[in-house]
Every structure is written in structure tokens, then in C-alpha cells.
Structure 1
Amino acid sequence: MTFTKTLREENQDVYEAIFNHSFVQGIGKGSVPNEALAHYIKADYEYLNAFMYIYGMAISKATTREDIAFFNNQIDFVLNSEIHPHNNFCEQIGVGYEELQGYPLPPTADHYVKHMMYHAHMGGLGEVIAALLPCPWTYLEIGQELMTSYQPAEDHPFYPWISFYADEQVANTTMEMRKVLDRLADEASPAEREKMKAAFRKSCQLELLFWEMAFTSEKWPVSDYVKVGY
């Protein structure tokens, strides 16, 4: 069994909790509170900005041109493609995308970014990828799960979001990322593989908490919410 297959099996409990979360199920049912959608976009916009920075850090640790090209393509995907599902949410709540940009990260999203930054600074390339991988992988499976469970038609309010993440491009990207991690895990020591497992597990947990953060509109206890970039 490959390393990433083992990771997926070991984290089935978290994946199931994500699939069953009220926000995720609300996407499938076509009904999510507007405030939750807005809170999600505010946090995810800044989270994805940080995600691109961490891809850049992965490039600095890469040893082959193939890996450099892969991470460079991932930055391009986040920068130019993942705006489409965000726009779908914005259209549903009638708010312009630009109006939801530049907000400080809520506590959970802030912790998630710092968790990935820690592994990017302190670990090798395999550890960085292990921390990054749950984001595209859980979204791919959410899209597939919702497409199967709800079979949304094109007039479904969140059809663009669901179809985007269930798409072959996301599947191919996730598989390529898994292949890189499998290769690095094969070359790693047992101690390094345990660090990869721990990074992956925590990122899975934080993906679940990100949905909860958005659904409850989580905020800092004392917050001034001045619009600033991450």
C-alpha cells in the first residue's frame, strides 16, 4: 500500500466528519446561511494567499525541475482558477468578491496557516506536502461526494462549486501531489514519515474546523476587523 493510501485510511474518521458537516451538507442541499458563506470567503481568500506562499516555500526545497514546475502550476491554479467557486458563493449572497477580501483570518484559519508555515520552515519537502495535501484532497472528495449524493442539475445554486471540485483537473492535481509525497516518503526515514503523518492528520482536522469556523462565523474574542491583507 502506498504512503498516501495509508494516510487516507488512517484519516477516514475525519473525512467522514467533513462530509457530514452542516456547511458541506448545506452546499449539497443548496442552502447555506449567507453569513456563513461570506465568512467562508473572507477567510478562504486570505488562506489561499498564504497557501500560495507555502507553495513557494516548497519550490525552495525542491530538488528537481519537475517538482518546481508542479508547484509553480499549483500557484497558477490557486491564483487564476479557485476564484470561480468563490464567485459562485458571492453570486448567491449578492456581494461583490472584492468586498470580501482583505479581512484578518479568524482564529481557526490563522492557526491552520501557522501550522502549515511551521512545517514549511521546519520540515523537509515531504513534510510540507503532507501539510498541504489535505486541502485539495478533501475538497476533491467533497465535490465527488456531493455530486454522487445529490446529483445536482445545472440550476442547483451551488452547481458551479460542486462541479469545480469534482472535476478531473482537481483529481489529476491531487493525484500528482500524492505521487510526489509517495516518492518522498519512500526515501524518508521512519521518523520523517511519522512527521509527515502528523502534519497530514492535523491538516485534516483543521479542514474540518475550517468548515465549523465558517458555519459559526467564528471571530476573535476582542476584534476590530480592520481590513488588512494577511
Structure 2
Amino acid sequence: MFCEEIWARTATLLKAIHDHPFNAALGDGTLDRERFAFYMVQDARYLSAFSKALAAASVRSADPADAMFFAESAHTALAVERGLHTSYLEEFGVSAEEEAAVPTSPTCLAYASFLQATALAEPLPVLAAAVLPCFWVYQDVGTALLARTAGMDDHPYRAWIDTYSDESFAASVERIKAITDRLAETADPATRRAMAEAFCRATEYEWMFWDSAWRLETWPTRQWLG
């Protein structure tokens, strides 16, 4: 199956995601608030582009059940996940004005632009493969962190871990994997290769996104702008 093949292809990269200092510190509960707040701000902006890509997938889906899944996922990205971001930023004392003043990072802009370009120019099978890592990688990381933090009820990032290790989120992951596998079955070889490349590129962006938050990434050219 396509999903099994592409998951195996990205195994080393997935391990690097799990081992990244950001996720290691997130699991330990030692991740400093500045990095996590930066991540929350950037992720909220990414989710806007992600939800639009899901909405585009819904419009393109010939199967009514698939269309409903993508539409519901677009709503969840904006309502449920965005709500998680808002609650953490409020807890950290980050005002709406302070959030708006944080520049969108180069990595966030690149990942969002990749999804928007894919939604605009690529067929549905490629778009499905491109949005799949944001479901699957997060569920994989969340589940691993849940196991690592068992019994740590006072964990500062418990809500984040619970969101991405939740059974309902896991069910959504299985659903989009099934959709992607079905689309790959009827895809021609060129489209299947494009699906694989889209999945790999999005997974690369997942690593880069956490890495950018760890580094508090800024625009190196900002100093030369008036």
C-alpha cells in the first residue's frame, strides 16, 4: 500500500523528528515558554493555509464521504486546534497585539506556500499526500509523547499531547490514510511519484517547522529593510 511504502521511505526523517530537541524538551516538560509560544503563533498561521488546502480537497473530491471528511477536517483545524493555540497564548500572557506583531517565520511561510501551491496546481491525489503528514506525523509524535509522559498529570504541555494522541484524531489519521491509499491505487505512475514527493516534502517541512521554533527563526534579511 502507498502509505506503508512512503512511511518506510521517511523512517529516518521521522526518527529525526522524534529526536529533535524541541520534541525531546516538549516531552520532558522542560521546553521553555518562549519557544513554545513562538511555535504556537507560527502554527496558528500555518493552520490557516492547511485548512484552505483541506477545503480545496473537499471541493475536488468526487466521493461525498471524502468531501465531508476534508470539510470537517478544515473546520477542526481552525476551530479545535486554533482554540488550543489561543488557550496556551492566553496562559502565557501573550496578547492578541503581541501575537500579531510576531513576523511569520520563513519556514512557516514556505510550508504554507507549498500547501497552497499544491492545492492550486496539483490533482487531488497529490494534494491528499501533501496534507497527510500533518495528520500522521502529529499523531505519531503525540502518541509517543503520551507514552513518555504517563503519570505526569501536571505536565505543562498535557493539553497539546492529549490533542494529538486522542482516539478521535487517530481515527481521522486512519481515514485520510485510507483515502490516500485508494487514490494511489488508481493513479498513474507519474501521479504516484508526485504523491510520494509531496508526502516527503511535507514531512521535511514538519521537521523544519519544529526546528525553526527551537531556533526562534527570524528573517536574516530583515536588518536591511526600512
TM-score, normalisation: structure 1: 0.90
Percent of pairs with identical residues: 31
2:38 matched to which residue of 1? 39
C-alpha RMSD over aligned residues: 1.8
Gaps of 5+ in 1: 225-230
1:103 is displaced (CA, Å) by: 4.5
Partners in 2 of 1:149 and 1:45 — Cα distance? 26
Worse overlay, 174-183 or 154-163 = 154-163
1:70-219 matches, within 5 Å, as 70-87=69-86, 89-90=88-89, 93-96=92-95, 99-101=98-100, 103-219=102-218
8 Å Cα contact 2:52/2:116 also seen in 1: no
1:32 is displaced (CA, Å) by: 1.2
Partners in 1 of 2:173 and 2:100 — Cα distance? 27
Name the aligned partner's letter for residue 146 of structure 1. Answer: L
1:11 matched to which residue of 2? 10
Partners in 2 of 1:200 and 1:137 — Cα distance? 11
Q: 1:63 to 1:123 in 2, by over 3 A?
A: same
Q: Deviation per CA, 1:149-179: give whole Å up to 9, x if none.
A: 2324221111111111111011001110111
Name the aligned partner's letter for residue 193 of structure 2. Answer: E
Partners in 2 of 1:52 and 1:70 — Cα distance? 12
Partners in 2 of 1:191 and 1:5 — Cα distance? 19
8 Å Cα contact 1:45/1:101 also seen in 2: no
Partners in 1 of 2:44 and 2:8 — Cα distance? 30
Aligned residues between the structures = 223
Gaps of 5+ in 2: none
Runs of 4+ in 1 over 6 A off after TM superposition: none
8 Å Cα contact 1:88/1:158 also seen in 2: no
More helix by share: 2
Name the aligned partner's letter for residue 6 of structure 1. Answer: E
1:87 is displaced (CA, Å) by: 4.3
8 Å Cα contact 1:92/1:157 also seen in 2: no
8 Å Cα contact 1:42/1:102 also seen in 2: no
TM-score, normalisation: structure 2: 0.92
